[in-house]
Structure formats: structure tokens, C-alpha cells
Amino acid sequence: MSDTTCVITGGTDGIGKAAAHALALQGARLLIHGRDPQKGASAVAEIKARSRNAAVEFLQADFSSLGDVRRLAATLMERAPRIDVLINNAGGLFARRKLSQDGYEMTFAVNHLAPFLLTHLLMSSLRGGKPARIVTTSSEAHRRARLQLDQASSRYSAMGAYASSKLANILFTRALAKRLAGTSVTATCLHPGFVRTNFGRDLSAVGRLVFGWVSRFARSPEKGAETIVYLATSAQVQGASGGYYFDCKPTQPSPAAQDEGAAEDLWRLSEQWVGIA
């Protein structure tokens, strides 16, 4: 991986940080995105020290703002005209309904619209002749989901919104793979497993208590990151596109996640919402 440039969003904590460390150990040049500059500086310093890889840097952006996503993309293209691997890993779970800076439901905005726009904006850097990979972190939570596209609805469930956004990640991957057919760029997505992270920090006090108790039985961030690293690096999946993986093996997502019509509807609306239609 010494001649490979990898971009990973949400790379300052949890499975994103674990994946970044694993890729740094393999010699990749890493551009790590996060929202908090202090946490980003700390993560980069730790990864550099543990991996002895100096080619690691942090880029800040708030994924609740499409303007920030555009700024991040411009910076990335300036720093890395050629990107070999894009890992869409950043995500959030929000206890109460709130809107992004652009007026969209926050979970949908951060977990789907931000990576949708970032991937679109970085496509010229990914399509550079050499094979490139786009890897998106989804979740088995998608199996309980109904795709929620009504941004005006005031009805809200934290887990319902999260599950819907994870379903959107898989539908996005399927539609993206279809559009990339015949190119050197592939798109895959994955379930990392139930991982012990700080992911539930925005939940209510009771929710955090329950999440914390259940997390005692969860897998480590390093274990959760294994499939991300596999899809980003393994020769076994070179050329594979459109698939959903768990524990480094392809698996069938829910019937809703295989709905080609829903994938096209989501793509069309997402283009309108992020302003690229």
C-alpha cells in the first residue's frame, strides 16, 4: 500500500480510527477526516507513532453542512489529485430530531447526503486510470428499515432514522456500482458488526446506559474495522462491485436493499438535494 492514497471519513475514533491505523501499518498515505480538530490532531499523532508512518494528515469538516463537504472535497483534490481508496465511514445517531445546516433531517444528511456528495465531487480523482475503490460503512440495522425520504415529516425515531440511513448506504452503493460499470472504480459496502465505540453518546441518559451495558458484549473497533480494510486492500475483491459484506464475506442484504427502483429514486432525489442534478 506504499504507493496508495486513502481517504477515510470519520477516521478519528472507533472503527474509522482502527481502520486508519491498519492502513497506515501497510504503508498507505492517509487523509483522515473528522469534525473535531483537537481529536483529529490526537488521532493523527497516535497513528503516526504506532505505525511509524509519517504520511498521515487530518482534514476537518462538519458533515451536517454540504458547504463543508464541498470545501473538504476541494482540499482533498488539491492535496491528492489521485485517490486510490475512498472510505465513507463517518456517521451519527441522534436522540432527537434536528435539522442539518441545509435543512435536512440530521441523520440522513450526515450518514447519506454527505458521503453521496463527497463521492460525486471526488470522482475525477478516483477515475485516474489505476483501479480505485469506494467503500461505505452500512449496518445490519438496515434490515429493520423503511426508506424515509420525506424530509418535512416531524415523526422521528432515532433508531428508525439511523436504520433508514444505513439502508440508503446500501442502495447508494448499488446505484453507484451500476454507474461505474466498465470503469476501473468499484463500490462496495459493509456491516462492521456491533462494535464497542462512543457511537451512542448523543442518546438520552437512559439510552446511553442501555447502549453502554449492551456494548460490553460488542466486538472491538479493530475487529469491526477488519472488513473495511479487507475491502480497501484485498486482491480477492479486486474488480468486485455493488456487494454488501460482513466479516470479509459477501452477504445478501434485505429485499428492500436490493430494490433497484428505490435505489434510482434515492439517487435522483439525492442529486436534487445536494445540488448536482
Residues 204-261: tens digit of each pLDDT: 554 544 445 455 556 788 999 999 999 999 999 999 999 999 999 999 999 999 999 9
Task: Check if the beta carbon of residue 253 is closer than 8 Å to that of residue 142.
Answer: yes
The residues annotated with a catalytic role in the active site are 162
Cα separation, 57 vs 12, in Å, equals 11
Secondary structure E strands in the chain: 5-8, 29-34, 56-60, 85-88, 132-137, 185-191, 244-246, 249-250
What's the burial of 190, exposed, middle or buried (CB within 10 Å: 0-12/13-18/19+)? buried
Can you give the pLDDT at residue 4?
A: 93
Percent of the chain with pLDDT over 90: 83
Mean residue pLDDT of the chain comes to 92
Structural domains in the chain plus CATH codes: 5-274 (3.40.50.720)
* pLDDT recorded at residue 210: 47
- For residue 261, what pLDDT is reported? 96
